[in-house]
Amino acid sequence: MKRRDFIDRSWKSAVAFTIVPRSVLGGSGFLAPSDKIQVGFIGVGKQSLNLLEGLNGCPEVVVQAACDVDSKKLDYFVKAAATAQSTMRKSNSSIGKYVDFRELLASASVDAVVIATPDHWHAQIAVDAAKAKKDIYCEKPLALTIAEGRAMVDAARKYEIVFQTGSMQRSSFNFRQAAELVYNGYIGDVKEINVSVGEPVRQCDLPSFPIPDYLDWDMWIGPSLYRGYNPILSPPIEDDKWAWWRGYRDFGGGYITDWGAHMFDIIQWALGMDNGGPVQFIPPEAPQAEKGLTYIYEQGTRVNHVDWGEPNAIQFIGTDGIIEVGRSFLKTNPTALADQNLTVNDKRLYYSDNHYQDWVKAVQNRSKPICDVEIGQRTSTVCNAVNIAYELQRKLRWDPVKEEFDDPFANMMRSRPYRGDWSL
């Protein structure tokens, strides 16, 4: 979009709809304006409704605006948000609707944004939001590429905004208990970890179909290389299945980033690697295998991408015991270890039992939340490096300080080409 067109479109949008400023919000039964964090949602597909439920439970949060390239999803979300807020007696103001996220970011009435777009949009929107001094809650995986994740960290630090990555398992009892037990050596030295998270990313080979009239497909593609519309990538609101853009390169990273961003994240946490990462990635010998990769940390701990018996779960194998953890279970050997209370001498990990309220607290205190942007970047780096090793089918050395491979082709895959005028 040309700059003149963008300014003209923004002006027309402002004339058509004006967000009520914070100074006049409030009234009987509502929080005082100074206690509110006015939020704009960018990307309002299926996951946004889960985020809406979680954030609406935070009394300080008021949804003030929403943005999506699908007009049907946008209308549905705005209605759902208005109903939810009315039920909680939060706000009596209207919710602004936008197609272009830059118009939402230009609003002085929005303090923070929730980014729940497909992965290929995360970096561009997050960097622009940081420049606009908006605090950020961004869905996992943090970034589509390693370079994009680092750009997001740099922007958050430069503009001093609070940034929570949506790796919400860190705010769950099962995973915190498992991580703290491993972190404090309750199962001895952990030399082997098995994790089951599904297959790596694949090339998109979907056929093209006519673009629905309610969808701005060119904007949906955004910075990625253009390809034709397919409802698998952006399903209509009537389709109850999860959109599978996440399975294809240029838009997502397969289950390696979808569930890996959850499970590899807990491994990073338990091993004290929130500011580091593995040093070697070894793909399976079978050239088209979708399981069997191993990555190794400097201290020798090996993480195997295998189906070990439970889907989307982790198995920590130590010299003195085993811990198995998923969203619905925590199993240990010895059995009593699952209910072990830590002692005063044990080291404690960051405590949160509500990922959304933790972000709100960090915004209020201007502090780092439980899954700060750097943590999100380190985990998404592991995910992206796993995908790169699967594709290149050769051993790779990784330097987590320089964020470089020992392989020139792998290093080129740390980033991607951007389309048109989009750039970080």
- Element at 77 (helix H, strand E): helix 71-87
pLDDT of residue 88: 86
Tens digits of residue pLDDT in 198-256: 999 999 999 999 999 999 999 999 999 999 999 999 999 999 899 999 999 999 999 99
| Distance, CA of 99 to CA of 67 (rounded, Å) | 5
Query: Is the pLDDT at 79 greater than 90, yes or no?
Result: yes
Confidence band for 14, pLDDT divided at 50, 70 and 90: very low
Confidence band for 421, pLDDT divided at 50, 70 and 90: confident
Q: What is the mean pLDDT of the chain?
A: 92
Tens digits of residue pLDDT in 309-364: 999 999 999 999 999 999 999 999 999 999 999 999 999 999 999 999 999 999 99
pLDDT of residue 3: 43
| Distance, CA of 293 to CA of 310 (rounded, Å) | 17
Confidence band for 424, pLDDT divided at 50, 70 and 90: confident
pLDDT of residue 381: 98
Domains annotated on the chain, with CATH: 17-168 (3.40.50.720), 172-351+373-424 (3.30.360.10)
Query: Is the pLDDT at 36 greater than 80, yes or no?
Result: yes
- With a CB cutoff of 8 Å and minimum separation 6, the contacts of 92 are 27, 30
349 is written with which tokens? 């990990």
Query: Is the pLDDT at 87 greater than 90, yes or no?
Result: no
* Residue predicted with more confidence, 22 or 162: 162
pLDDT of residue 10: 43
Query: Is the pLDDT at 22 greater than 80, yes or no?
Result: no
* Mean pLDDT within 285-306: 96
Instruction: Order across the sheet with 396-399: list the strands.
Output: 329-333, 321-326, 313-318, 190-196, 302-305, 294-296, 280-282, 396-399, 404-405
Q: How many residues does the chain have?
A: 424
120 is written with which tokens? 């290929």
C-alpha pair distances (Å), 262 with each of 256, 267, 326, 369: 10, 9, 10, 17
Give the least confident one: 21-35, 110-124, 244-258.
Answer: 21-35
* Mean pLDDT within 384-390: 98
Tens digits of residue pLDDT in 267-295: 999 999 999 999 999 999 998 899 999 99
State the angle between helix axes of 355-365 and 46-56 in degrees (0 to 180), rounded to the nearest 10: 60
Give the least confident one: 14-28, 118-132, 381-395.
Answer: 14-28
* Mean pLDDT within 87-94: 80
Query: Is the pLDDT at 380 greater than 70, yes or no?
Result: yes
Tens digits of residue pLDDT in 128-170: 999 999 999 999 999 999 999 999 999 999 999 999 999 999 9
Give the least confident one: 10-14, 95-99, 105-109, 277-281.
Answer: 10-14
- With a CB cutoff of 8 Å and minimum separation 6, the contacts of 117 are 42, 43, 125, 139
Query: Is the pLDDT at 13 greater than 80, yes or no?
Result: no
Model pTM greater than 0.85? yes
pLDDT of residue 33: 52
Longest dimension (CA), the chain: 67
